[in-house]
Structure 1
Amino acid sequence: MKAKTRLTLLFTLITATILLVFAFIIYYSAKKSRENEFYAVLKKEAITKANLFFNAKVDAKTLQDIYRNNRQILNEVEVAIYDTNFVLLYHDALDIDFVKENRQMIDQISRHHEIQFFKQKWQVVGLEHQFENKTYIITATAYDQYGYKKLNSLLQNSAIVFVIAIVFIYLAGLFFSKKAFEPIKEMTNKAKNISATNLDLRLNTNGSKDELGELANTFNEMLNRLENSFDTQKHFVSNISHEIRTPLSAIITELELSTNKNRNIEEYKVVIQNVLSDARKLVKLSNSLLDLAKASYDPSKIAFKAIRVDEALLDARQQVQHANTHYKIDIHFEGDFEDDRHISINGNEYLLKVAFANLFENGCKFSENKQSKVSVSFTDEHILLAFSDKGIGISANDQKNIFTPFYRGSNKIYADGNGIGLSLTQKIILLHKGTITITSMPNYGTTFTITIPHI
């Protein structure tokens, strides 16, 4: 069942329940009002006839004739008069005697002075009447044909109005729910047309600030993220293809040239060295891509533990110098630390070593003296790492894109690279809830400052 139909039925059900309760209250009030009014009429008729009998001394036969004549055209009140000893003094129609009074009833009236009750649909009232210091018991009964007719008419009319109202409410609910869900239907149809090939499409918000407008804005924001993700993925795949194709093409070319004619041992050695160099580039690229994938994981999927930053820096320096023995890396602590907590962070050891190694390698690679330095300092809440070099520096234009994957600035002519290292380093630092900033001036060197909260 669609939400529109379900909402319409729920609205109709709630409204029908309210109408039903309202109609019941009206009908019940009308019923009780009719009863009370008719009891008052019975009481009035009983007292009137008692006064005719006692005060006016109208004989019983005349009163009975009046009763029988009126009974043919009206629902005349049947009255009976007793003394307290259950002696019948007068009765309108003893042969009919609808109430059929008994001694128990007379005694009950004497005790309560007045009673009211139903006998089938006939209403009966019994009361005491004083005349010449004597107490008499009077009963009066009649069938309120006119009142019951009005009550039945009220019930029938209420039922008809209720049914008509329910139909009208259902149709009105259907109409308004359709109007209310039109924006959602429009959003659904628009969303169905959005695919990977046209992620630039957006839902119309029409400047609305209601819940639907908020939903459309949220959906559009999600599409913005998806579009950026798809564009990044396309860019990523394009760059990967280029980075992999270049060394592979060089390897194929070297091998094809070496098979065209016989060469001496020295020439084959040169070919092998060239192929080996390109193969190493591929291995380095593959390792960088794997590290980039690890740094892009959900943080909840990565194992974190207490890591000493000084040990991670020493391991990263050893790793870089093992691959490049001519690189010089200095680690300088700007203050003593008495508590291991000041030098420890909650992190992933492998990823931190990758980040530090990338910064060490970059500093040495783009410096004529092949030297990089890191200064370590502390605050109450953070560890500060400043990776600096005296290299060629980075232009202001390149600094804007330095952390973009596969971006290589104007300094690419000085050293090989694939443009992954710095973007990978930034991802790792962000993963550890830290920040990384760059300060650089061409021909004067570069400083990368990392701030990471310690344990």
Structure 2
Amino acid sequence: MKIRERLSLLFTLLTAAILLLFAALVYYAAYQNRETEFYNRLKKEGITKANLFFTAKVDTATLQKIYKNNRETINEVEVAIYDTTFQLRYHDALDIDFVKETEQMIDEIRKKNEVRFYQKEWQVIGLLFHVDQKDYIIMAAAYDQFGYKKLQNLRNTILIIFICSIIFIYATGRFFSKKALSPVTEIVYKVKSITASNLDLRLNNSIGKDELAELSSTFNEMLDRLEKSFDAQKQFVSNISHELRTPLASMITELELSTHKERSIADYQLVIENVLTDAQKLARLSTSLLDFAKASYDPSEISFKEIRLDEILLDARQQVQRKNPSYLIDILYENEVENDDEISINGNEYLLKVAFANLFENACKFSENKKSVVSISVQNENVVLHFVDEGIGIAEEELIHIFTPFYRGSNKKYSEGHGIGLSLTQKIVKLHDGEIAVSSEVGKGTKFTLEFPHL
């Protein structure tokens, strides 16, 4: 069921419930009013006939004749008069006697002064009447044909109005819900036309600050992020293709040249060495891309545990020096660590080791003395790492780009690389709720500062 139909039905049901409650209250009030008014009429008729019988001394035959004549045209009130000893003094139609009074009924009226009740659909009232210092019981009963007819007409009128109102309300609800949700229909139509090839399309923001305007704005923001993500992905794929093409082209060229003519063993060895070097470049690039993909996972898909950062630094140093024995890496403590929690974080050991190894390698390969120094300090709720080298430094205009994937600055002439290391390091640090900052001066060195919230 569409929202428009659901809203129309809910609106109709709610209004119907309110109308039904209102109609029930009106009908109940009318029912109660009819009942009270007819009891009052019975009381008045009974007292009037008792006055005619006792005070005006109208004889019984005359009163009964009046009753019978009136009964032929209207629902005349049937009146019976008893004394307190249950002796009948007068009755309009003893042959009919609809109420069938009993002695217990008379005693109850005498004690309560007045009793009201129903005899089938007839209303009956019994009351104590005092005249000439004597007490009498007056019984008056009748069927309120006119009152019930009015109630029936009221009920039919309410039913007709209720049904017509529901139909009108439903039609009106459909109209207004369609009008209110027309911007949603427009949004759906526009969204269906947006594909990967035209992510530059945007929804028209509704005038005002309602929920639909907020929805359009939020959707446009999502499209902005998607467009940037797609552009970054295209750029990423393009850069990967370029990085892969260079060593592959070199390998293919070396191998093709080696098959054109007979060569010496030394020449073949040189070709093998060159191809092996290019293959190693591809292996390093593949490893970097794999680590980059891991760092881009949803955090919920990466296993975290309690680890000490100094232990990860030692493992990263050992890993780097195993591949490059000439690299010098020092690890220092700036202040005393009172407990393990101060230098422990909730993190992924493998990814942090990759990040620290990247910083060690960058510091050493761009420094003449091949040395990197990392200092550990605890500041409030954070553990801070400073990676310092005395290398060639980074130009100020290049600092804002160093965390961009595949970006290589002017220092690329000093060492080979793919421009993935620092962007990967930044991703890993952010993944651990950390912060990374860099400061550098050309010819004097570079300092990377990493902050992680400790346990």
Counterpart code for 1:140: A
1:52-107: CA deviations, max 9, x gaps?
Answer: 11111122222222223323333222222222233322222333333333333333
User: Is 2:157 the partner of 1:157?
Assistant: yes
- What CA deviation, in whole Å up to 9, does each residue of 1:17-61 have, x standing for no partner? 221222112111111111111111111111111111111112222
**Helix, strand or coil for the counterpart of 2:401?**
coil
The match for 1:258 is 258
Report the CA distance shift for 1:211/1:422 in structure 2 as closer, same or farther (over 3 A). same
Matched with 1:47 is 47
Which residue is equivalent to 1:246? 246
Alpha-carbon distance, 1:162 to partner? 0.9
- Give the counterpart letter for 2:288 in structure 1: S
Range with greater deviation from structure 2 (192-201 or 241-250): 192-201
The within-5 A match list for 1:185-200 is 185-200=185-200
| Aligned residue number for residue 322 of structure 2 | 322
Residues 376 and 100 (structure 1), Cα distance of their counterparts in 2 relative to 1, 3 Å cut: closer
Aligned to 1:432: 432
CA distance in 2, matches of 1:336, 1:123: 100
Report Cα offsets for 1:348-400 as digits up to 9, x if no partner.
Answer: 22222221221121122222333333233333433322222222221222111
Match of 2:289 in 1: 289
Q: Which residue of 1 aligns with 2:227?
A: 227
Range with greater deviation from structure 2 (250-259 or 1-10): 1-10
In 1: Cα distance, 2:51 partner to 2:377 partner = 117
Hey, what's the Cα distance between the residues in 1 that align with 2:116 and 2:223? 77
Q: For the structure 1 residues 233 and 79, does the alpha-carbon distance in structure 2 shift closer, same or farther, using more than 3 Å as the test?
A: same
Q: Paired residue for 2:86? A: 86
2:301, 2:272 → 1: CA distance? 41
Letter in 2 for 1:270: L
Q: Distance in 1 between matches of 2:128 and 2:383?
A: 104
- 2:272 corresponds to which letter in structure 1? I
TM-score after normalising by structure 2: 0.93
Amino acid at match of 2:323: A
Most deviating of 147-156 and 117-126: 117-126
CA–CA separation in structure 2 for the residues paired with 1:259 and 1:31: 112
Greater shift, 97-106 or 355-364, is seen at: 97-106
CA apart distance, 1:190: 1.9
1:347 is aligned to: 347
Shift of 1:243: 0.6
> 2:447 aligned with 1:447, yes or no?
yes
Q: Which runs of 5+ in 1 are unaligned?
A: none
**Change over 3 Å in CA distance of 1:336–1:157 after alignment to 2:** closer
Shift of 1:338: 4.8
C-alpha displacement at 1:254, in angstroms?
Answer: 0.8
3-state SS of paired residue (2:201) = coil
My pick for the range that moved more, 15-24 or 297-306, is 297-306
* Structure 1 equivalent of residue 120 of structure 2: 120
- Which residue identity lines up with residue 73 of structure 2 in the other structure? I
Q: Deviations over 1:161-190 (max 9, x none)?
A: 111111111111212222232222222222
SS of aligned partner of 2:198: coil
- In the alignment, the residues of structure 2 paired with residue 115 and residue 344 of structure 1 have an alpha-carbon distance, to the nearest angstrom, of 90
Provide the C-alpha distance between the structure 2 equivalents of 1:9 and 1:325, rounded to a whole number of angstroms.
Answer: 78
Seen in structure 2, the aligned counterparts of structure 1 residues 418 and 52 have a Cα distance that, compared at 3 Å, is same
CA distance in 2, matches of 1:188, 1:122: 66
Partners of 1:409 and 1:397 lie apart in 2 by 10
Mapping for residues 203-214 of structure 1, pairs under 5 Å? 203-214=203-214
Count residues with an aligned counterpart. 455
> Is residue 84–residue 136 contact of structure 2 (8 Å, CA) maintained in 1?
yes
Residue 280 of structure 2 aligns with an amino acid whose one-letter code is R
SS across alignment from 2:72: helix
RMSD over aligned Cα, in angstroms?
Answer: 2.1
Query: Percent identity over the alignment?
Result: 64
Deviation at 1:336, TM superposition (A): 4.2
Q: 1:58 to 1:442 in 2, by over 3 A?
A: same
- The alpha-carbon distance between structure 1 residues 142 and 300, as it changes in their structure 2 partners (threshold 3 A), is closer
Residues of 2 paired with 1:409 and 1:168: CA distance? 73
- Displacement of 1:207 after TM fit? 4.8
**Which residue matches 2:269?**
269
Q: Is 2:206–2:212's contact at 8 Å kept on the other side of the alignment?
A: no
Output one character per residue of 1:259-291: Cα deviation in whole Å (capped at 9) or x when no partner.
Answer: 112222222222222111111110110111111
CA pair 120-377 structure 1, distance change in 2 beyond 3 A: closer
Structure 2's unaligned 5+ residue stretches are none
With over 3 angstroms needed to count, the CA separation of the structure-2 counterparts of 1:114 and 1:342, relative to structure 1, is closer
CA distance in 1, matches of 2:445, 2:150: 103
